[in-house]
Homo-oligomer: A and B are copies of this chain.
């Protein structure tokens, strides 16, 4: 017996949620693939108004799908992002990596004169080449990543750059959009963003990557 009347079926909850978001959010700027990702990101934050701030480079969806299908690791700036990625949706058993709690990170941060979130990115090393990057927390991590790439470091396949907050978040995301030569990017402009929106974006792209695997094709 239940004291409250509420939907208890997980699939029905998802279906109804996505229907409400598609009815209320202005998704007209997006391609069908982008809209799928935006719907999931809105679901993660509970705000249809977020649609106005979500932005994609034109090549983001296809690049991310290809990278995920080819087994690219997902490099996350925060444990919350890593734990929001649904492993069962990943199309190629992709590794999900967060190096923030590595015991060497604090010393490294002191040495480079930056935050632990930035220092953790140094530990990604060569795994960054062709990777999916998912930054949902620290503006310093996004700035530092772009600095490393500009200095000749490995280039990832795509950057989901959605740090949240009041100091540097907006600016770091503007730097991502302006970065040249461009790397396929997805962002939430302004202060909004965060680990839930970032993990939701990865989960949506992983879902598209699974749907688009050609029949009979072995990855």
Contacts and interface: CB of A to CB of B under 8 A. Distances in A.
A140 B44 contact: no
B6 A166 contact: no
A3 B118 CA distance: 14
Interface string A37-74: 00000011111000000000000000000000000000
A80 to B, nearest CB: 5
Interface stretch (A122-130, A193-201, A210-218): A193-201
A90 interface: no
Q: Give the size range of A's interface with the partner.
A: 35 or more
Interface in A104-160: 113-116, 118, 139-140, 143, 146-147, 150-151
The quantity of this chain's copies bound in the complex is: 2
A1 to B, nearest CB: 9
B46 A193 contact: yes
A89 to B, nearest CB: 15
A79 interface: yes
A167 B9 CA distance: 11
15 contacts: A3-B147, A3-B150, A7-B168, A10-B115, A13-B140, A17-B167, A43-B166, A46-B164, A46-B194, A79-B83, A82-B83, A83-B83, A195-B195, A195-B196, A196-B196
Interface of A: 2-4, 6-10, 13, 16-17, 20-21, 43-47, 79-80, 82-84, 113-116, 118, 139-140, 143, 146-147, 150-151, 164-169, 171-172, 175, 190-196, 199
